[in-house]
Amino acid sequence: MSVSDVTHHETGHEHDDHSHDHPEWLAHHFDDAEQQFDSGKLGMWLFLVTEVLFFSGMFCAYALLRSQSPETFAFASKFLNEKLGAINTGVLLFSSLTMAWAVRASQLSQHRILVGMLGTTLGCAAVFLGVKAVEYTHKWGLGLLPGSLYRAQGVPSNEDHAFGELSLIYMCVIPGILAVAFLIWWLISLVKKDRVQVEIAGPLFLAAACFFGGVGLGRYLESGEAHAEHADHTAQHDSHATELAAAEELHTASPVAATAVTEPVLNAVTQAHPDQVAPPKFEGVEDPKVNQKGRAGLFFSIYYCMTGVHAFHILGGMVVLTWLIVKAARHEFHSKYFGPVDNVGLYWHLVDFIWIYLFPLLYLIG
Amino acid sequence: MAHSTDAHADNHGHHEGEFAHPASIRMLLTVFTILVLLTLLTVYQSTLDIGDMEIWLSLGIATVKASLVILFFMHLLWDKPFNAILFISSLIFVSLFLGFTLLDADAYSNKIELKDTLAESMKPEPAPEAPVTPTGMGASR
Amino acid sequence: MSILTRPDSTIEVTRGSDVKDNYLTHTSGFLTWALTLDHKRIGVMYFCGVMASFTLAGIIALIFRTHLMWADGGFLTVQQYNQLFTLHGAIMVFLFIIPSIPAALGNFLLPVMLGAKDVAFPRLNLMSFYLWVTGAIFFLVGLLITGLDTGWTFYTPYSLESKGPVVWATLAVFILGFSSIFTGLNFIVTINTMRPPGMTWFKMPLFLWATYSTSIIQVLATPVLGITVLLLTLERVLGIGIFDPKLNGDPVTFQHFFWFYSHPAVYIMILPAMGIISELIAVHSHKGIFGYRFIAYSSVAIALFGFLVWGHHMFTSGMSDVASIIFSALTFTVSIPSAIKVFNWLATMYKGTISLTAPMLYALSFIFLFTIGGLTGLFLGPLSLDRHLHDTYFVVAHFHYVMMGGTLVALLGGAFHWWPKMTGRMYNEFLGCVSAIVVFIGFNLTFLPQFVLGTRGMPRRYATYKIEFQDLHVVSTIGAFVLGLGLLIALVALVHAIFRGRKAPSNPWGGATLEWNCSSPPPFYNFERPPTVSDPYDFRGIEYDEKIGGYLKHGQS
């Protein structure tokens, strides 16, 4: 690339004597800026290698489970909202763009652009988590839980929307507190005309606010979907109820069989004949037995593991992005010292890299 | 690239200040646009009914996207070859891990019968798992 | 031999140890140690930590070996026995062997041998140490709640059902894994980017090659252990079912995950030991290493081949036939680079001027014990024989010959060899040699009978056994106590040196690697200027100087 010529004008420290006269951004045990940069970058690439192998375990489990029962995956992934997945993919891709731009800005000492780009990246991360929070809590309300906690779908009493709503509120508490705190900090520093603090608090407040933007977006899109799903379920209730009753009549002469499907009945059924309960039927699903803990439950296990670990990586990325914003607002980066921005950028792109695979593997099946 | 191709310590010193290579904005925007288009493409292809090919197609598109991110956003195309080797070797070891494990699982899959946990799944609240008394000991070396 | 016969009192110390400022005295106070970024201090702290863990796990081993003197068991309940061998294994593997040589000696030596001021990321290095401490605390908490009884391997489904504190232990392993990853990452970066001018790849001491190979494994394999124990933790807490057969999960997969790390981890344990032996043999034979490049490349080869053979732990676990056959065949490839190393060490000694010092005695017993350990591994590789020997005392003896006879003996040899450099004091040669001999005898007395027991069908992990096995068990227990005595003597020798040892010269053994160029103990910054690098195994011109009790390079006075 012919871009390297732009860097010559930067802080030309001539330090012939390596052990003394180090500029403050150069650690004592490095000889020069390039050695420091190369070490940091190599270290980050090695860390990314460990990340790839860390995630590979879950991809391996995914492949095993999917090959073991592909129809389960086709069934269970219908409960994931493709639109939300696609929007989150777009958000992460955009954040990757702004991150890459931030690296460029740091190399060119464009301090304002750098803070802006880092802030945008942080905001995108918050939107992503906001959407994710809606997705998670919506599923929790439906009983779409991992493994042993999974509750069969299509049984009305199993749905506990209040639980989902409540957990969404809990999830909003910390971002809410942060948003208020950052807003106050921002306003104070605006009044005090402290440029550095304004440049730190502003992006942080906007990022925290972005979380709620993500939540709103998620709820808007999820609610449409939820209605459709709900209608779908209720349409099946009749057939489901008869099915269940029939199954029971076959195996017991219990009088409760004739009553409508209510919780106690279900309990009675499952306790009396745990092995012979007929599953609720779903349109387009050949084998309704996929709707159980040991099948769809496993899909949601791997779904929560993969996206959950990924979300923790987003959270970690947000912490280091905040640290970068602080440093960037203090104008600490320039063409000889931009390693931290570059390395956080590498990490951030890797998180995007993982999501690029998660999206089609989890959302776009069948 | 003018950059030294090796991480040898004795190559330090010359080229001082030349290790920053800002990416051009046009390149970043182009890559981003392609990535978004590919995302739309992969969403579209998931609606097509192409059977078993689907997963390979969507994985293929994902791989193209991932490569774009790695090569351009992560700058691997201009990075030291050693870093590229590192990253590729991580993928090789992943395929080794997945390859052997899946080969084995596939080979014994015909001996496995999926259990039915339907009754449990229909219970509104999961019963707490009763701890089973310890019996066997894991065999290992 | 000459060193052994010379009384210490005749040596005046005049040079080298005069330097006032060294890393030990540079600053003082608890916090300057606790918050130090100096790789040497971190190495010393690691050394104390791993040795404390080793002592704890060793005492546990003595307890259940005593119990095993009687066929019906001695004083432990079956449950207690299960908990004790689990703790012994888990502490030895995760708290002792894996961090032992790389994190303790490696941290101390790597930058000095390389001619660098420090490792590339000193803060990460300190963090790695504190992660190790945190992991150790988690293990101890788990130990205090109730005993862990799953074996160190946490195989499902038992680990899902056990009442022991599995979650504490898996979290401990997760944290320790990151400690190990950070150490490995730091070393790779240091060796890649911080070599001073003249230190090319093939000018590096073989210990660094071994450490580098170890670091590759640490970086590539440990993350898989991380995700394995994380999934196991979630399995315990939420019942995600991926490894739980009750929910159609697959316990064999857990073993694949586990051994994808834990087999390469065997080479994390042994490779640095081989690096130490390469140094010890060359220096104490006063002869250039034979086949430098072969030893260097074989380290890397072992690291890579180590990833191809994990399935040989699972021959009886329900793995498919085709995978078993492939893994069995691949297993034999690892023996080639290991054998290359042994041949080269032997060839190095041939016609050398061997000084039978304590480090050299340890190195010799390493070669003997490691060879037995390695060759008995070949018995376990073929499927037919493994079906018979799997989970018997034969396996126990095999891996103790490699892990303990290999790694621990090399660690002790390395400790004696570099003790003058680390502490600035010479240990008592007589005590050191006695400890080496007693350890060697005790070790063989403990574990040779176990080979016999194993072939006769004594299964491992049993608290009681048939009466016909008792004689050999008694011999083994006696051996264990002899071994414990030997280790105690080694400890006495090392501690005695700190308080009563004579001051160490810069180069007590006549080594040619860079650490012998700086004073004993090294100054805070290791080297004021990048040192002149020469062949690490060129001993020409390095001659013994009576006056200082150490070696001097010709023309340097």
Q: pLDDT tens digits, residue range A165-192?
A: 899 999 999 999 999 999 999 999 999 9
pLDDT (average), residues A241-267: 41
Could you give the 3-state DSSP secondary structure of residue C543? strand
Inter-chain touch C311–B104, beta carbons under 8 Å: yes
Contact: B120, A46; criterion CB under 8 Å: no
What is the ipTM score, two decimals? Answer: 0.92
Residue A236 binned pLDDT confidence (cut-offs 50, 70, 90): very low
- Chain mean pLDDT for chain C: 91
Q: What is the pLDDT of residue C547?
A: 83
Cβ of B120 within 8 Å of Cβ of A269? The answer is no
Cα–Cα distance measured from residue B111 to residue C498, given in angstroms and rounded to the nearest whole number: 62
Q: What pLDDT is stored for residue A280 in this prediction?
A: 73
Reduced to 3 states (helix: H, G, I; strand: E, B; else coil), residue C275 is helix
Q: Residue C117 has which token pair?
A: 């001021």
Answer left, alpha or beta for residue A104, where phi above 0 means left and psi between -120 and 50 means alpha.
Answer: alpha
Taking alpha carbons only, the member of C170, C165, C181 closest to residue C234 is C170
> Exposed/middle/buried for C319, CB within 10 Å: 0-12, 13-18, 19+?
buried
Backbone angles phi, psi at C71, to 5 degrees: -60, -35
Name the A residues in 299-338 with CB < 8 Å from any C CB. Answer: 301-302, 304-305, 309
Q: Per the CB < 8 Å rule, is B97 touching C224?
A: yes
Residue A102 pLDDT > 80, yes or no?
A: yes
What is d(CA C44, CA C33) in angstroms, rounded to the nearest whole number?
A: 10
Closest chain B CA to residue C326? B100
- Chain C touched by A3 (CB under 8 Å): no
CA Rg value for chain B: 25
Question: Using an 8 Å Cβ cutoff, are C386 and C392 in contact?
Answer: no
Residue B91 has pLDDT above 50, yes or no: yes
What is the mean pLDDT of the segment spanning C234-245? 91
Q: Burial, A163: exposed, middle or buried (Cβ in 10 Å; 0-12, 13-18, 19+)?
A: middle
Instruction: Determine the pLDDT at residue B110.
Output: 83
Q: Does the pLDDT value for residue C16 go beyond 50?
A: no
Question: Could you tell me the two tokens for A95?
Answer: 């954040």
- CA–CA dist C446, C473 (Å, integer): 9
Q: Position C228: which residue type? A: T
| CB nearest to C250's CB, from B7, B103, B105 | B105
Q: Which residue has the tokens 């490349």?
A: C297
Answer for the pair B72, B23: CB distance below 8 angstroms, yes or no. Answer: yes
pTM: 0.88
pLDDT at B6 over 60: no
> Which tokens is C402 given?
């490699």
Chain C (97-116) residues lying within 8 Å, Cβ to Cβ, of chain B: none
Is C307's CB within 8 Å of B96's CB?
A: yes
Instruction: State the DSSP H helix or E strand holding residue A343, giving kind and residue range, or none if neither.
Output: helix A339-358
Q: Is B20 on the interface with A (CB under 8 A)?
A: yes
CA distance C430 to C451: 32
Q: Does B104 touch chain A (CB under 8 A)?
A: no
Write out chain B residues lying below 8 Å of C310, CB-based.
Answer: 100
Sort strands C550-553 and C542-545 into parallel, antiparallel or unpaired: antiparallel
Neighbours of A170 (CB within 10 A): 11
Interface test with C, best of B19, B92, B137 (most C CBs within 10 A): B137
Q: pLDDT tens digits, residue range C315-364?
A: 999 899 999 999 999 999 999 999 999 999 999 999 999 999 999 999 99
| pLDDT at residue C555 in the model | 59
**Residue B4: Cβ within 10 Å count:** 16
CB contact under 8 A, B102 and A101: no
User: Is C271:C297 a contact under the CB 8 Å cutoff?
Assistant: no
Chains with 3+ CB–CB pairs under 8 A to C are A, B
Q: Which residue from C158, C250, C253 is facing B136, i.e. has the nearest CB?
A: C158
For residue C321, give the chain B residue with the closest CA. B107
Q: What is the pLDDT of residue C408?
A: 96
Tell me the per-residue pLDDT of B23-62, one tens digit each, with 9 for 90 and over.
899 999 999 999 999 999 999 988 887 877 888 999 999 9
Whether C320 sits inside 8 A of B82 (CB atoms) is no
Check pLDDT > 90 for residue C373. Answer: yes
Q: Among partner residues B101, B132, B139, which is closest to C253 by beta-carbon distance?
A: B101
Per-residue model confidence (pLDDT) at position B114:
81
Residue with tokens 């090569």: B71
Can you tell me whether residue C76 is helix, strand or coil? Answer: coil
Question: Would you put residue A348 in left (φ > 0), alpha (ψ -120 to 50) or beta?
Answer: alpha
A114 CB neighbours in chain B (<8 A) are: none
In this complex, is the C-beta atom of B22 within 8 Å of any C-beta atom belonging to chain C? no
Query: What residues of chain A lie within 8 A of the CB of B58, using their CB?
Result: 360-361, 364
Residue from the list C189, C220, C529 with its beta carbon closest to the beta carbon of A43: C189
Could you give the count of Cα atoms lying within 13 Å of A8 in the half-sphere of its Cβ?
4
* Cα–Cα distance measured from residue A95 to residue A80, given in angstroms and rounded to the nearest whole number: 23
| Whether B114 contacts chain C with CB within 8 A | yes
Cβ-Cβ contacts under 8 Å between B and C: the total is 105
Q: Tell me which of C162 and C211 has the higher pLDDT.
A: C211
Q: Chain A: give the shortest CA distance to residue B93, in Å.
A: 8
Q: Is the pLDDT of residue A343 over 50?
A: yes
